[in-house]
Structure 1
Amino acid sequence: MLFSLTPRAALVAATFGLLAAASLPACKTSPNEGENGGAAANDSVANKPAPVDTIKIKAMAMRRDSLKADSIAKKTGQLPGAILPGHRIIAFYGNIRSKGMGILGREPKDQMFRKFAGVLKEWQAADPSIPVQAALHNVTITAQGSPGKDGKWRLMNSKATIEEVISWAREHKCILFLDVQPGHSTLQVEVPKLEPYLKQPDIHLGIDPEFSLATMPGVRPNQKIGTLDAKDVNWTINYLARLVSENKLPPKVLTVHRFTRKMLTNYKNIKLDPRVQVVMHMDGHGEPTLKKDSYHDYIQVEPVQYTGFKLFYEYDARPKPHHIMTPEEVLTQLTPKPLYIQYQ
């Protein structure tokens, strides 16, 4: 009887075969063949094992992990420990060292957490069918108004600051997002700097195309709105997926800020992975009608996976009589209902 290998088994067999071939010594020439120097010159080459293609092996291992994750997700609907879609994440955004970047850092710590507790209650009351998950969203690599020594226009928080915001989050049973504004650097350079933290199960990632200016030489942050492509998002997904597999972590959540079409190009090319839950996050401020239109145009009609919506304490209510949308308004006026809510 003939048996066909499953895709996963075929990959395992291919990987084993590649490793086995790499470990076998090559055939040697006989002593006589080398007496006159003809074959002897190639003898040392022949004795060397074939080189191991480590890049290919890693890629195959990643693919094997991805197939395993896909299989589990199809059976259960999600991977163990996944936050979405079983929870609604409610986040306070900013930087604990800055009063100007958002509610996280604007008010004294205890006062801010009292306010946050009230917001969490409002959201839970607005939709009792889904539990809320509290989160802090700290901008950890921040676009700057000056180029710095390397000309990349960004600055990373100190280790002490990152560890402090981690302690805040854990003290109040929050998950934590570390946000990256790459300036004139790239995600491929900046995100790995956060790896020691992203290896921890309660720490997730945000990326901000608005402040991604590597393709715009000479442009200062805030002069123009930056951009990322699907290939950048895919690189980030693959990076986080590897961390999940290597460290046996629950799925990571990745938020991608967006409030214009050009902030994210080729969204249809984004390749999802069960180990990473992608939230396309409507990040614009203004009066409610404008915010709803932006959510429709850049989030709803260009879907990726999960959706997010930002509310601004300082900007959404300007000018009067505009107001900050309530949880009930967000849930009844947006389709799909966002599973990630961020307050700045």
Structure 2
Amino acid sequence: MKLTHIAGVLLLGAATVSTFAYCTSDAKKTDGKTAKSAKADSTKVEEETPRTPVDTAKYNELVAKLANGDTTGKWPVKNQPYPLAGAILPFKRIVVYYGNLHSKKMGALGEYPPKEMWQRLNAEVKHWQKVDPSTPVQVGLHYIAAVASGTAGKDGKYINRMGNKQIDSVLKIAKMQPNTIVFLDLQVALSNIKSELPHIEKYLELPQVHLGIDPEFSMKDGSLPGKKIGTYDAADINYVSQYLADIVKKYNLPPKVLTVHRFTKKMVTNYQNIKLRPEVQIVMHMDGWGEPDLKLGTYRHFIYGEPVQFTGFKLFYKNDLKKAPNRLMTPEELMKLKPKPIYIQYQ
């Protein structure tokens, strides 16, 4: 696939369509002991450590700070509900490595052995802490738990669902560093988000596990993933956030962070109808790759220009270097954006 430009806006994102076909849905075939034990441990911690209610004055101060002097009235987003106790955003900046353990081409998470991966990620964290010492970093791993595939698979949905053992492995890697959070990311291909969420529900019941959804690979018109860019409507995002909110309320969890990948207008339709909830914090995540001017244009058009709640920005170690000027954007540059991204993803 080529890098495509329309009106100076970047129109190609992660494009992580997989060609492996050995990780079909095996959620029922593999035991879930790791997830169950982790849930028990997490529940115990929750019972022993009551969460402090959100400081609303501090929240207001921090979201205003993220707006970075914007005078258009778009940022900070008006009339957003205060989150439940234990909210990560905007009190911390989330910095994650993205990828899949079965492919070195999908991102830094999976490209490097765990110890080396952690060394590299921690170096990025230190850079962010130096650039913005007033905002603590929440480190995380963002794992593609359902991968759009180049082959149809048994169910004809062109999706490879990672089994429990694979996801448990990511949770174990996360435990190598205390207080690490994990995102499970869904590329639904010819399936749909309603069908795919139950496959990872037991992991979403863990307080440290959050969710990412990728419209690029939501192929509602039946096109094969990777052939064109998919889409989600506000109704889809509202369904997901309500799904997460129900889990948060049922298990008395801190708010979930929901990241939504975006780099074109049609990837997210009717953004103004996205509903905000105290149980879920939504990050609209700039997922495009290319030279800095293109990335900034994408952020300006589809993230800044269509405000939802919080913003994210992805940096590609390889794809961002494919065309001159061949360099990765720096934390210093991203801190100048309006609004400042509070979620940073490295692939």
TM-score range, shorter chain: 0.7 to 0.9
1:286 aligns with 2:290: yes
How far apart are the structure 2 equivalents of 1:91 and 1:271?
A: 25
2:339 corresponds in structure 1 to 336
1:236 corresponds in structure 2 to 240
Equivalent position SS for 2:321: coil
Size of the aligned set, in residue pairs, is: 271
Work out whether residues 290 and 323 of structure 2, in 8 Å CA contact, stay in contact via their aligned partners in 1: no
TM-score, normalised relative to structure 2 = 0.76
Shift of 1:159: 1.1
1:318 corresponds in structure 2 to 322
Work out whether residues 291 and 325 of structure 2, in 8 Å CA contact, stay in contact via their aligned partners in 1: no
1:197 corresponds in structure 2 to 203
Mapping of residues 161-240 of structure 1, within 5 Å: 161-173=166-178, 174-213=180-219, 215-217=220-222, 219-240=223-244
Task: Kindly provide the amino acid, as one letter, of the partner of residue 176 in structure 1.
Answer: V
Work out whether residues 83 and 280 of structure 2, in 8 Å CA contact, stay in contact via their aligned partners in 1: no
**Identity over aligned pairs, percent:** 51
Give deviations 1:141-176, integer Å, cap 9, x for gaps: 111001111111101112111001011112213100
Note closer, same or farther for the CA distance 1:153–1:133 as it changes in structure 2 (3 Å cut): same
Equivalent position SS for 1:171: coil
2:6 corresponds in structure 1 to none
Give deviations 1:209-263, integer Å, cap 9, x for gaps: 00000x212x211100000100000000000000000000000000000000000
How far apart are the structure 1 equivalents of 2:175 and 2:210?
A: 13
Mapping of residues 1-344 of structure 1, within 5 Å: 77-173=82-178, 174-213=180-219, 215-217=220-222, 219-332=223-336, 334-344=337-347
Shift of 1:266: 0.4
Structure 1 residues without counterparts, runs of 5 or longer? 1-70
Which structure dedicates a bigger proportion of its chain to helix? 1
Shift of 1:285: 0.3
Structure 2 residues without counterparts, runs of 5 or longer? 1-52, 60-81
Shift of 1:203: 0.2
Equivalent position SS for 1:236: helix
Root mean square deviation of aligned Cα: 1.5
Work out whether residues 98 and 106 of structure 1, in 8 Å CA contact, stay in contact via their aligned partners in 2: yes
Equivalent position SS for 1:135: strand
Task: Kindly provide the amino acid, as one letter, of the partner of residue 210 in structure 1.
Answer: E
Structure ID, larger Rg: 1
2:62 corresponds in structure 1 to none
Work out whether residues 99 and 143 of structure 2, in 8 Å CA contact, stay in contact via their aligned partners in 1: yes
Work out whether residues 73 and 79 of structure 1, in 8 Å CA contact, stay in contact via their aligned partners in 2: no
Shift of 1:318: 2.1
Work out whether residues 54 and 86 of structure 2, in 8 Å CA contact, stay in contact via their aligned partners in 1: no
How far apart are the structure 2 equivalents of 1:190 and 1:78?
A: 26
Shift of 1:72: 7.6
Task: Kindly provide the amino acid, as one letter, of the partner of residue 98 in structure 2.
Answer: Y
How far apart are the structure 1 equivalents of 2:181 and 2:128?
A: 17
Give deviations 1:122-141, integer Å, cap 9, x for gaps: 00001001000001000001
How far apart are the structure 2 equivalents of 1:80 and 1:224?
A: 40
How far apart are the structure 2 equivalents of 1:321 and 1:224?
A: 27
Larger relative contact order, structure 1 or 2 (CA cutoff 8 Å, min sep 6): 2
Shift of 1:74: 6.5
How far apart are the structure 2 equivalents of 1:235 and 1:269?
A: 12
How far apart are the structure 1 equivalents of 2:101 and 2:240?
A: 25
TM-score, normalised relative to structure 1 = 0.77
How far apart are the structure 2 equivalents of 1:287 and 1:320?
A: 7
Shift of 1:183: 0.5
Task: Kindly provide the amino acid, as one letter, of the partner of residue 307 in structure 1.
Answer: T
Give deviations 1:156-215, integer Å, cap 9, x for gaps: 1121110010111122131000000000111000011111100000000000000000x2
